[in-house]
Amino acid sequence: MTTTEEHRTEEHPREQRKSKISRVVVRFAGDSGDGMQLTGDRFTASSALFGNDLSTFPDFPAEIRAPSGTLAGVSAFQVQIADLDVTTPGDVPNVLVAMNPAALKANVGVLEKGATLVVNADAFDERSLAKAGYGSNPLSDGSLAAFTVYEVPMTSITQEVCKDAGVKPRDAERSKNFFALGLVSWLYTRPVEPTIDWIEKRFADKPLVLEANARAFRAGYHFGETAELFEASYEVGPAQFPPGEYTQISGNQALAWGLIAASKLSGLPLFLGSYPITPASDILHELSRRKEFGVRTFQAEDEIAGIGSAIGAAFGGSLGVTTTSGPGVDLKSEAIGLAVNLELPLVVVDVQRGGPSTGLPTKAEQADLLHAMYGRHGEAPVPIVAARTPSHCFDAAIEAVRIAVKYRTPVLLLSDGYLANGAEPWRLPDVDLLEPIDPAFATAPNHVDADGTPVFWPYLRDPETLARPWAPPGIPGLEHRVGGLEKADGSGSVSYDPANHERMVRLRAAKIDGIARDIPPVEVDDEAGDAELLVLGWGSTYGAIVAAVRRARARGHRVAHAHLVHLHPFPENLGEVLARYRRVLVPEMNLGQLSRLVRAEYLVDARSLSKVQGVPFRAREIEAAIDAELGGPA
């Protein structure tokens, strides 16, 4: 087995109490009711404050409370923390914290020899073992011999320390995740205060819970210190970040903030029409909290009303946005087509999840690209923008708004479940330097009638952008009717004229194609300029591709990486870039949708690397594909 940089840890030295390591991948796993997401989140937050670079991967079931103790009910949170730049949550955990047998069973398969296992020994009773499908107890049957196993009676210690605080054992049991957090915090030398502060704030109105959680957390921490069980603790030093102010951000939060920023930049009041759906709902939640920004959020009766209301708001001169996931995009298709015809600014956010149908609601996939591209009847082109990291969702949202407003068009903004819930440190942008967005509302008639009267023609286009004027109601003289019926070029009156229809179809297409002139060329990471293989990606595969390319290069391969933010239209230079490389590899969490688009558009032999398991690529999987393309390990 090759030791790759992603999961390299140093030997566990016996005597030393603290050893420095460069990075570690920790995976917290437990029952859905065990609070593993919260535990992972807190570990991440204190690591971020400590100055580590990090990347997270929350991985949870669709059921809120799947049957407890079963494999189906296991919820996990993986985080990689490092003193250097990391781009993924890590291929393989170095440490697995398993709160019960099911959590162990569901995750032990991915561990490598020498990994550390911290288990809640109290949970390995016969009943729980049976529920997880264990015939014998893995803690004693030798099946974990390849790992360093720490058996810690987390439940009983937690109950013990909570006893004299007046917390009943049943209630104390719920705090065991804080014990685990305390223990892992000690193991990786995380500061205690941020977590205690957080517990105090979060549970301020529930003093007993506050007390139990704080005690459990401290007990976990002290257990590490005093229990002689562990040979050493580890220290992952702060990473070298460019100077600046940082915060930790998830994709959905960044996307919501990007929309608010775009509203400020354009001066357009933000209106969100949305229907709850995983994994997009948190954007609705976040925006609903921000009323002081003049954000109107409308929880509609369904996705069609979500987009319908956003179209109505856009007609009235607001920044209309609708957020959803795949099944919701299906429902919105007809209305997106209407917006194409109306030529009104609109942003449709698709936080992709596994499909078809309900599919894998909490898992990530990139299989809506062709739907975004073609999922409407008639010739109905829409620009597509895709975010590539959690923090990039901020920029991608602003870019989607910029295009929508400038070109008077619906824009599809693609994120996915992995970006939505994943978190990373984000260097805060200087908001004063963000480019303003000019709504350029129509203010006066733009045409003269045959009899010399000034009139307003709603479909008289800007010769350069081909965008039509945006004239929200309220201005005398600009009264006009729009609709889904075909319109006469210029005047916008209903027209069934055959030649006019073809002209309008071509004009709408040309308008969208023309956006290529207004977006940055795709950047290629190919330092030496001599790469034989280009890895072309889009969306959330970014981190895994970056890590894979780095490793392949470190082993002497000549590999380049380009990552598309604009998927429709493509950047103008893409064809020329593709032509520069002998081989093109396109990793995607679908059956090859981008590869199909670039093959059709540029006639290049772009090879698809597919993974549709609801989980992101591991860097090593892409690395192996690079090896295969370039003829074995360099």
Residues that bind other proteins (CB under 8 A): 45, 48-49, 51, 194, 241-249, 257, 260-261, 264, 269, 271, 273, 290-296, 298, 300-302, 304-305, 308-318, 320, 334-335, 338, 342, 428-429, 431, 472-485, 493-494
* 3-state DSSP assignment of residue 167: coil
Phi and psi at residue 367, to the nearest 5°: -95, 10
Smallest distance, other proteins to C-beta of residue 475, A: 6
Cα pseudo-dihedral 279, 284, 287, 289, rounded to 10: -110
Contacts of 441 (CB under 8 A, 6+ apart): 317, 469, 470, 471, 472
Smallest distance, other proteins to C-beta of residue 485, A: 7
Token pair recorded at residue 342:
């109306």
How far apart, in whole angstroms, are the C-alpha atoms of residue 47 and residue 39? 12
Contact between 362 and 389 under an 8 Å Cβ cutoff? The reply is no
Smallest distance, other proteins to C-beta of residue 279, A: 20
Nearer to other proteins, 290 or 558 (CB): 290
Smallest distance, other proteins to C-beta of residue 125, A: 39
Nearer to other proteins, 48 or 386 (CB): 48
Direct distance between the N- and C-terminal alpha carbons of the chain, in angstroms, rounded to an integer:
16
Smallest distance, other proteins to C-beta of residue 103, A: 28
Smallest distance, other proteins to C-beta of residue 94, A: 25
Contacts of 54 (CB under 8 A, 6+ apart): 44, 47, 48, 79, 80, 81, 82, 86, 248, 423, 424, 425
Smallest distance, other proteins to C-beta of residue 270, A: 10
How far apart, in whole angstroms, are the C-alpha atoms of residue 303 and residue 41? 30
Nearer to other proteins, 126 or 292 (CB): 292
Phi and psi at residue 483, to the nearest 5°: 175, 180
Peptide bond into 279 cis (omega under 30): yes
Nearer to other proteins, 270 or 546 (CB): 270
Contacts of 415 (CB under 8 A, 6+ apart): 251, 252, 255, 349, 350, 351, 352, 386, 387, 393, 396, 539, 540
Nearer to other proteins, 155 or 195 (CB): 195
Burial of 574 (0-12, 13-18, 19+ CB in 10 A): buried
How far apart, in whole angstroms, are the C-alpha atoms of residue 382 and residue 92? 39
Phi and psi at residue 377, to the nearest 5°: -80, 160
Smallest distance, other proteins to C-beta of residue 113, A: 36
Nearer to other proteins, 269 or 359 (CB): 269
How far apart, in whole angstroms, are the C-alpha atoms of residue 246 and residue 427? 4
Nearer to other proteins, 492 or 569 (CB): 492
Nearer to other proteins, 272 or 626 (CB): 272
Nearer to other proteins, 335 or 552 (CB): 335
Nearer to other proteins, 24 or 261 (CB): 261
Nearer to other proteins, 241 or 374 (CB): 241
Beta strands (DSSP E) in 134-212 are 148-152
Token pair recorded at residue 293:
């920004």
Smallest distance, other proteins to C-beta of residue 502, A: 22
Question: CA-CA distances (angstroms) from residue 5 to 13, 88, 107?
Answer: 20, 12, 21
Question: CA-CA distances (angstroms) from residue 180 to 157, 162, 201, 212, 249?
Answer: 11, 15, 20, 13, 24
Nearer to other proteins, 63 or 200 (CB): 200
Contact between 154 and 192 under an 8 Å Cβ cutoff? The reply is no
Contact between 72 and 65 under an 8 Å Cβ cutoff? The reply is no
How many residues are there in the chain?
Answer: 634
* 3-state DSSP assignment of residue 195: helix
Smallest distance, other proteins to C-beta of residue 429, A: 8
Smallest distance, other proteins to C-beta of residue 561, A: 26
Range 333-364 burial, b when 16+ CB lie within 10 A, else e: bebbbbbbbbbbbbbbbbbbbbbeeebbbbbb
Smallest distance, other proteins to C-beta of residue 446, A: 16
Nearer to other proteins, 207 or 473 (CB): 473
Smallest distance, other proteins to C-beta of residue 340, A: 12
Nearest to 507 by CA among 468, 447, 466: 466
* Other Cβ atoms within 10 Å of 540 Cβ, number: 29
Nearer to other proteins, 484 or 520 (CB): 484
Smallest distance, other proteins to C-beta of residue 39, A: 17
Contact between 332 and 383 under an 8 Å Cβ cutoff? The reply is no
Phi and psi at residue 246, to the nearest 5°: -125, 155
Question: CA-CA distances (angstroms) from residue 523 to 196, 539, 571?
Answer: 44, 15, 10
Smallest distance, other proteins to C-beta of residue 268, A: 10
Nearer to other proteins, 41 or 588 (CB): 41
